[in-house]
Amino acid sequence: MLLWEDEPRRKARIEIIPMIDVMMFLLVFFVLISLHVIPALGFKTSLPGTSAPERFEVRKHALISISSVGAFQLDGADHTLASLKTALAVLKRENPETDIVINSDREASVQAMVDAMDAAKSAGITAIAVAANRK
Protein backbone atom coordinates (compact mmCIF):
# COMPACT_ATOMS: atom_id res chain seq x y z
CA MET A 1 0.00 0.00 0.00
CA LEU A 2 1.26 3.41 -0.97
CA LEU A 3 0.67 6.29 1.44
CA TRP A 4 0.93 9.92 0.46
CA GLU A 5 2.27 12.19 3.07
CA ASP A 6 0.07 15.22 3.57
CA GLU A 7 1.83 18.52 3.89
CA PRO A 8 1.09 20.26 7.16
CA ARG A 9 -1.52 22.97 6.60
CA ARG A 10 -0.44 26.52 7.17
CA LYS A 11 -2.87 28.74 8.96
CA ALA A 12 -4.20 31.68 6.94
CA ARG A 13 -2.95 35.08 8.07
CA ILE A 14 -4.67 38.36 7.54
CA GLU A 15 -2.17 41.08 6.78
CA ILE A 16 -3.50 44.32 8.27
CA ILE A 17 -0.55 46.60 7.51
CA PRO A 18 -1.63 47.25 3.87
CA MET A 19 -5.18 47.89 5.10
CA ILE A 20 -3.89 50.44 7.62
CA ASP A 21 -1.85 52.13 4.87
CA VAL A 22 -4.94 52.45 2.66
CA MET A 23 -7.05 53.83 5.52
CA MET A 24 -4.41 56.42 6.42
CA PHE A 25 -4.17 57.46 2.76
CA LEU A 26 -7.96 57.91 2.59
CA LEU A 27 -7.97 59.92 5.81
CA VAL A 28 -5.27 62.28 4.55
CA PHE A 29 -7.02 62.60 1.18
CA PHE A 30 -10.37 63.58 2.73
CA VAL A 31 -8.78 66.04 5.16
CA LEU A 32 -6.91 67.79 2.37
CA ILE A 33 -10.02 67.95 0.19
CA SER A 34 -12.14 69.40 2.98
CA LEU A 35 -9.57 72.08 3.78
CA HIS A 36 -9.14 73.34 0.22
CA VAL A 37 -12.54 72.96 -1.46
CA ILE A 38 -14.80 74.89 0.93
CA PRO A 39 -13.24 78.40 0.70
CA ALA A 40 -12.45 78.09 -3.03
CA LEU A 41 -15.35 80.18 -4.39
CA GLY A 42 -15.63 83.96 -4.18
CA PHE A 43 -14.97 86.58 -1.55
CA LYS A 44 -14.90 85.98 2.17
CA THR A 45 -18.07 87.66 3.39
CA SER A 46 -19.69 88.18 6.75
CA LEU A 47 -23.38 87.52 6.14
CA PRO A 48 -26.18 89.49 7.82
CA GLY A 49 -28.71 87.59 9.93
CA THR A 50 -32.38 86.74 9.41
CA SER A 51 -35.06 85.25 11.66
CA ALA A 52 -37.16 83.73 8.83
CA PRO A 53 -34.95 81.83 6.35
CA GLU A 54 -36.50 80.10 3.33
CA ARG A 55 -35.37 77.12 1.27
CA PHE A 56 -35.18 77.07 -2.51
CA GLU A 57 -36.40 74.08 -4.49
CA VAL A 58 -33.56 72.28 -6.27
CA ARG A 59 -32.56 74.31 -9.32
CA LYS A 60 -29.42 75.68 -10.90
CA HIS A 61 -28.14 78.31 -8.51
CA ALA A 62 -25.85 81.09 -9.63
CA LEU A 63 -24.00 82.90 -6.87
CA ILE A 64 -23.39 86.65 -7.04
CA SER A 65 -20.89 87.76 -4.40
CA ILE A 66 -20.54 91.40 -3.42
CA SER A 67 -17.48 92.43 -1.43
CA SER A 68 -17.40 95.11 1.24
CA VAL A 69 -15.99 97.56 -1.33
CA GLY A 70 -18.70 96.79 -3.92
CA ALA A 71 -16.81 94.42 -6.26
CA PHE A 72 -18.96 91.78 -8.02
CA GLN A 73 -18.31 88.11 -8.72
CA LEU A 74 -20.54 85.62 -10.52
CA ASP A 75 -19.77 82.03 -9.51
CA GLY A 76 -16.23 83.05 -8.54
CA ALA A 77 -15.38 85.08 -11.66
CA ASP A 78 -14.79 88.83 -11.26
CA HIS A 79 -17.20 91.14 -13.11
CA THR A 80 -18.04 94.80 -13.45
CA LEU A 81 -21.71 95.73 -13.30
CA ALA A 82 -21.92 95.88 -17.12
CA SER A 83 -20.22 92.51 -17.63
CA LEU A 84 -22.39 91.03 -14.85
CA LYS A 85 -25.52 91.92 -16.84
CA THR A 86 -24.08 90.24 -19.94
CA ALA A 87 -22.98 87.12 -18.04
CA LEU A 88 -26.41 86.78 -16.41
CA ALA A 89 -28.14 87.07 -19.80
CA VAL A 90 -25.91 84.28 -21.16
CA LEU A 91 -26.61 82.19 -18.06
CA LYS A 92 -30.37 82.67 -18.50
CA ARG A 93 -30.19 81.62 -22.16
CA GLU A 94 -28.23 78.46 -21.27
CA ASN A 95 -30.50 77.47 -18.36
CA PRO A 96 -33.92 79.16 -18.17
CA GLU A 97 -34.59 77.71 -14.68
CA THR A 98 -31.61 79.49 -13.13
CA ASP A 99 -32.07 81.33 -9.88
CA ILE A 100 -29.74 83.80 -8.22
CA VAL A 101 -28.39 83.84 -4.68
CA ILE A 102 -26.80 87.14 -3.67
CA ASN A 103 -24.01 86.69 -1.14
CA SER A 104 -23.32 90.24 0.00
CA ASP A 105 -20.97 91.34 2.73
CA ARG A 106 -22.82 93.14 5.50
CA GLU A 107 -20.52 96.14 4.98
CA ALA A 108 -21.40 96.39 1.26
CA SER A 109 -23.67 99.22 0.21
CA VAL A 110 -27.33 98.52 -0.33
CA GLN A 111 -26.98 100.16 -3.74
CA ALA A 112 -24.54 97.44 -4.84
CA MET A 113 -27.08 94.77 -3.86
CA VAL A 114 -29.87 96.60 -5.68
CA ASP A 115 -27.62 96.93 -8.76
CA ALA A 116 -27.03 93.16 -8.70
CA MET A 117 -30.79 92.54 -8.40
CA ASP A 118 -31.47 94.93 -11.30
CA ALA A 119 -28.86 93.13 -13.41
CA ALA A 120 -30.55 89.80 -12.73
CA LYS A 121 -34.02 91.17 -13.51
CA SER A 122 -32.82 92.79 -16.73
CA ALA A 123 -31.48 89.36 -17.77
CA GLY A 124 -34.94 87.88 -17.16
CA ILE A 125 -34.12 86.06 -13.91
CA THR A 126 -36.94 86.53 -11.43
CA ALA A 127 -35.97 84.04 -8.69
CA ILE A 128 -33.54 86.03 -6.51
CA ALA A 129 -32.60 85.38 -2.89
CA VAL A 130 -30.23 87.04 -0.46
CA ALA A 131 -27.94 84.78 1.60
CA ALA A 132 -27.94 85.37 5.36
CA ASN A 133 -26.99 83.60 8.58
CA ARG A 134 -29.65 82.47 11.06
CA LYS A 135 -29.92 84.75 14.15
The highest-confidence range among 8-17, 49-58, 72-81, by mean pLDDT, is: 72-81
pLDDT band at 24 (very low <50, low <70, confident <90, very high): very high
Measured CA to CA in angstroms, residue 19 lies from 15, 16, 26, 28, 61 at distances of 8, 5, 11, 14, 40
* Whole-number Å distance between alpha carbons of 110 and 113: 5
Confidence of residue 42 (pLDDT cuts 50, 70, 90): low
Mean per-residue pLDDT of the chain: 82
Q: What is the pLDDT of residues 68-108, one digit of tens each?
A: 888 899 888 888 888 999 999 999 888 888 888 998 888 88
- Is residue 58's pLDDT more than 80? no
CA distance 105 to 46: 5
Question: pLDDT at position 41, please?
Answer: 59
pTM, rounded to two decimals: 0.57
Rounded to the nearest 10°, the torsion over CA 102, 103, 105, 110 is: 10
Q: Determine contact, residues 98/125, Cβ cutoff 8 Å.
A: yes
Q: What are phi and psi of 9, to 5 degrees?
A: -75, 135
- Domains along the chain? 49-134 (3.30.420.270)
Which residue has better confidence, 4 or 70?
Answer: 70
